[in-house]
Structure 1
């Protein structure tokens, strides 16, 4: 996994340098500290999927190029077989599988996300990114924290929200929760 983090970081650095964008500008646009950005780009720290998505937008490339080093090739459709999505383990508490990594010019990023249960009932870290997000619970139960709201979602429930608001989630009942997340 550490090697994969370094490969993604190297692709980001190379593209940023080709485009003549400074690390300071990237950090500012991503609303993170310059130190945090440098750790991401040096492969010293895992990059959250939401930040990776914003980096891809800033660099003008598909997120899959950063993840795999290959350009998407599909123009009309792409099929992702069960369990075969491109793995994006960008946050320790969540596991992501990108379901459309091979489609060109996506208007949204669809993921299957797995949240493992933890002893804490409240999240340690929140997340935010520009845009909107749709989540549909496929398995388990999830407590979603959005700003000062706590919402419990059960299998089959869904939520659509402004993802620029601080948000996080925890799996409930000591079982993993899986959901479809579409980031727009």
Structure 2
């Protein structure tokens, strides 16, 4: 998505190399526009003021669960932090996503980059491509709905509740996302996973 300025205009973030920084900057900019102090927003999101300050300055890990709390407090969907390309031809909108027009988001400090493959988040599910850097992982979290996925590159360690699994290319999975879950790349090459999440989580 785009970051809102005081004039109400949404400024796009850079396409490459700036996604992590842009999320922190967008959080800070939107917080100020909404009139929240650091302390007010930190309390509302259930995190410390120091942690929020570090997030805004891109000096701390930003797990998806924390970003979701911040997004909820700021009154935006998590998809707000995705960076869209040009919208493309009118006849393709809400139907087709060209590879060069995917909306992207990286989670600061986690080594995980998401690309939104769904044309929009208005339907019953979302489709994502996750690229997980070697040695990177997510925190445990849970949410309403269900998830399924397919490993298309690399190796994926997946924890679902009290169970853990190692998945290779071609392996797939499905689970109730109300269970605590997390993933990691234990390999030396990037891992890529296509995820289906319902209802849309971002």
TM-score higher than 0.5 here?
Answer: yes
Q: After the TM superposition, which residues 1-40 of structure 1 pair with which residues of structure 2 at under 5 Å, given as runs?
A: 3-40=18-55
2:140 aligned with 1:127, yes or no? yes
Q: CA 1:37–1:166 in 2, change beyond 3 Å: closer, same or farther?
A: farther
The structure 2 residue matched to 1:112, chosen from 124, 129, 136, is: 129
Q: After the TM superposition, which residues 52-131 of structure 1 pair with which residues of structure 2 at under 5 Å, given as runs?
A: 52-68=67-83, 77-82=94-99, 84-90=101-107, 91-100=109-118, 103=120, 110-118=127-135, 126-128=139-141, 130-131=143-144
Cα deviation per residue 1:107-160 (whole Å; 9 max; x = unaligned)? Answer: 655320123444xxxx77623254345131131442212343212334241222
**Residues in 1 aligned to 2:30 and 2:61: alpha-carbon distance in whole angstroms:** 18
Q: Which runs of 5+ in 2 are unaligned?
A: 1-15
Provide the secondary structure at the position in 1 that maps to 2:185. Answer: strand
Aligned residues: 176
Tell me, yes or no, if the aligned pair for 2:116 and 2:129 is still in contact at 8 Å: yes
Tell me, yes or no, if the aligned pair for 1:146 and 1:166 is still in contact at 8 Å: yes
- Per the normalisation by structure 1, the TM-score is 0.68
- Per the normalisation by structure 2, the TM-score is 0.63
RMSD over aligned CA atoms reads 3.7
Q: CA 1:44–1:163 in 2, change beyond 3 Å: closer, same or farther?
A: farther
